[in-house]
Amino acid sequence: MKFSANLGFLFTDLSLPDAIHAAKTAGFDSVECHFPYETPPAEMKDALAQTGLRMLGLNSWPGDRAAGDFGLAALPDRVDEARREIARAVEYAVAAGVEAVHVMAGRTDGGPAAEACFRANLNHACDLAAVHGLTILIEPINTRDVAGYHLSGTIHAERIIDELARPELKLMFDCYHMQIMQGDLAKTVEHLMPKIGHIQIAAVPDRGEPDRGEVDYRWLLAYLAVLGYQGFIGAEYQPRGKTEAGLGWIRQLKSA
């Protein structure tokens, strides 16, 4: 398996370019991030060139986190803002050499207006991405951590992907979120494999290093290999201490 360091959670004491170099030194095969917008895209691109790593994805801007925002794309009263941020994410990705944009839905009442808004904005995002060969990702997020998040299950995500029928649109399957919401990870991933654009891992329930907890990642990742998954596994966990001190799991899972 090939592992990607999510720099939204890992090496956060470093600047983004330095974090890319740290991920390379630590043995990661690629990187991904959350909100890189304070870093000039040329600086990210240079760090990627120097290390030979790929930057797999970034997130659209979530809005005002202090005010409770966790994404904008499904908020009917903020369409203009959501589309500006989607455009900014796509432009940054193109400039920096990032391969995918995760469009964050946000917290909603789950009603039809929010769903229609989300789908319209995803279509718009796919229109922008198609010009540049980018992937648009949607990610179900558990409602224990993010109450009211519009997209919280794979059945909903699968329906959106099927009905929009956009080749640019893929599923980001985060094992941490989906163990909390659904469980049955192996069979769920097997069913969804044709629609998956990226997989992420973290321990459940503490979201720490993926070396303990409810999910046996040694077994699950071996099963993904049997299923033919050839993508990267995103390490999107919150280190229990310093990032460097908790990296023993990489050797364990690669040996599996």
- Is residue 190 part of the annotated active site? The answer reads no
**Dist. CA 186–CA 173, nearest whole Å:** 12
The CA distance from 236 to 33, in Å, is 9
Contact 87, 131 (CB under 8 A): no
List the catalytic residue out of 32, 99, 115, 139.
Answer: 139
- How far is it, in rounded angstroms, from Cα 230 to Cα 227? 9
Half-sphere exposure of 86 (CA within 13 A, CB side): 30
Kindly tell me the number of DSSP H helices and DSSP E strands found in the chain: 9, 8
Catalytic-residue membership of 139: yes
Amino acid at 216: D
Give the pair of three-digit tokens for residue 226: 């049997």
Closest CA to 81 of 106, 101, 99: 106
Q: Which amino acid is at 129?
A: A
Count CA atoms closer than 13 A to 197's CA, side-chain side.
Answer: 21
Q: Which residues are catalytic?
A: 139, 236
